[in-house]
């Protein structure tokens, strides 16, 4: 006798996949890793045709709120046309899109304003979907049991400095974490379930330094934030940094190179802490091949991430998993040629 499966059990979860700007332009391998991991977890992603910049909350909203609302609403309307909740891999995009979604759902005047503009391009904000961060999809929608069951090999106690970032948890009133924004644990739990150690460090929830347009306007000030965070991570013995935001990733990755130059007389030694996006490590723990996770760098092009060398850490992890980093590099080059 066959079990009668419910609609939820036979229909894979679907999400409108919002890419933002930084990942396609700077870290395309983060998109690759996330797509592959979510596919392996049984998630169906719907591309958002015609989606634009979110637009950036720390810059655009500071100058022109009405336009910020209208552009954000347009992106949400594209996800509504997909009939699927929107998921983003970026804290900044999440900050804009969830804030726009909340404001338009609760303020009829603003909703009327944006729809008077959207109608010109045959679109409408309906308020029919939810805006979610990838962390929420993994931790809440799929759940820790699902993630735990998907792990086939643990990553050997790798000491990770988890960086949450600002927009992921605040403002708490319109975030899904139940007010746990001063000392959240969900990201740490996601890291620990794959066999890593989430290393506690001072000022863990301090901004990376990139947000609010500070990196663009006063780079040295933004990098001073980064320098402090890096010092605290190194002091705590972190072997790598794990993020779920590409702009934080850029600041902590490229930012290390910049800090090593600008603050060379103020730091005890140059920083060289590799930075990983969470789905890259999750994919490894799920048994996926490093090439499918953007973890094999086979070029020395300047200005192309990752900027901090990941090979020392990856060589150790790969060896434990039965891979040879140098051999993977050679295979990748041979495949491309």
Q: How confident is the model at residue 2 (pLDDT cuts 50, 70, 90)?
A: very low
**What is the pLDDT, as a whole number, of residue 333?**
58
Query: Nearest 5 degrees, angle CA 210-CA 212-CA 216?
Result: 60
CATH-assigned architecture of domain 7-133: Up-down Bundle (1.20)
CATH no., domain 148-336 = 3.40.50.11810
Tokens of 89: 């891999």
Per-residue pLDDT of 151-181, as tens digits, reads: 999 998 899 999 999 999 998 889 999 866 6
Per-residue pLDDT of 234-249, as tens digits, reads: 999 999 999 999 999 9
Residues forming CATH 3.40.50.11810 domain(s) in the chain: 148-336
> Judging by beta carbons within 10 Å of its beta carbon (0-12, 13-18, 19+), is residue 114 exposed, middle or buried?
buried
Tokens of 76: 């949400």
DSSP 3-37: ----HHHHS--EEEEE-TTHHHHH-HHHHHHHHHH
Q: How confident is the model at residue 337 (pLDDT cuts 50, 70, 90)?
A: very low
Mean pLDDT confidence for 298-320: 91
- Mean residue pLDDT of the chain comes to 92
**What is the pLDDT, as a whole number, of residue 4?**
46
Residues forming CATH 1.20.1050.140 domain(s) in the chain: 7-133
Mean pLDDT confidence for 8-12: 65
Instruction: Give the phi and the psi of residue 76 in degrees, each rounded to 5.
Output: -65, -40
How many whole angstroms separate alpha carbon 310 and alpha carbon 276?
9
- 20 and 89 Cβ atoms separated by less than 8 Å: yes
**What is the pLDDT, as a whole number, of residue 302?**
85
Check residue 268 and report its DSSP letter. S
Residue 53 reports pLDDT greater than 60? yes
Which of 215, 226, 207 has its CA nearest to residue 167?
Answer: 207
Mean pLDDT confidence for 261-284: 97
What is the sign of the dihedral through the CA atoms of 311, 316, 322 and 327?
A: positive
Q: How confident is the model at residue 7 (pLDDT cuts 50, 70, 90)?
A: very low
Share of the chain above pLDDT 70, in %: 94
Residue 135 reports pLDDT greater than 50? yes
């Amino acid at each position: 006798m066959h079990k009668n499966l419910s609609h939820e059990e036979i229909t894979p979860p679907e999400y409108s996949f919002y890419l933002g700007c930084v990942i396609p332009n700077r870290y395309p391998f983060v998109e690759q890793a996330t797509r592959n991991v979510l596919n392996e977890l049984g998630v169906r992603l719907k591309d958002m045709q015609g989606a634009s910049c979110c637009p950036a909350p720390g810059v655009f909203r500071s100058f022109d709120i009405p336009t910020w609302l209208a552009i954000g609403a347009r992106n949400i309307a594209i996800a509504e046309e997909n009939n699927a909740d929107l998921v983003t891999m970026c804290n900044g995009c999440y900050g804009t899109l969830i804030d726009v979604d909340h404001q338009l759902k609760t303020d009829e005047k603003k909703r009327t304003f944006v729809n008077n503009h959207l109608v010109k391009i045959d679109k409408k904000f309906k308020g029919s979907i939810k805006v979610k961060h990838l962390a929420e999809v993994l931790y809440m929608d799929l759940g820790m049991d699902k993630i735990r069951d998907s792990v086939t090999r643990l990553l050997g106690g790798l000491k990770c400095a988890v960086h949450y970032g600002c927009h992921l948890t605040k403002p708490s009133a319109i975030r899904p974490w139940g007010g746990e924004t001063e000392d959240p644990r969900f990201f740490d739990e996601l890291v620990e379930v794959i066999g890593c150690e989430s290393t506690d460090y001072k000022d863990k929830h301090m901004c990376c330094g990139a947000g609010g347009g500070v990196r663009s306007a006063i780079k040295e000030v933004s990098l001073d934030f980064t320098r402090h965070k890096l010092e605290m991570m190194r002091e705590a013995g972190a072997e790598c940094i794990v993020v779920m935001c590409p702009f934080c990733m850029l600041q902590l990755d490229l930012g290390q190179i910049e800090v090593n130059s600008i603050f060379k007389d103020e730091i005890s030694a140059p920083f060289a802490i590799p930075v990983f996006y969470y789905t890259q490590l999750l994919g490894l723990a799920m048994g996926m091949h490093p090439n499918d996770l953007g973890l094999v760098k086979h070029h020395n092009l300047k200005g192309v991430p990752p900027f901090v060398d990941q090979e020392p850490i990856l060589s150790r992890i790969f060896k434990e998993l039965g891979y040879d980093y140098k051999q993977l590099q050679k295979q990748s080059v041979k495949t491309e040629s």
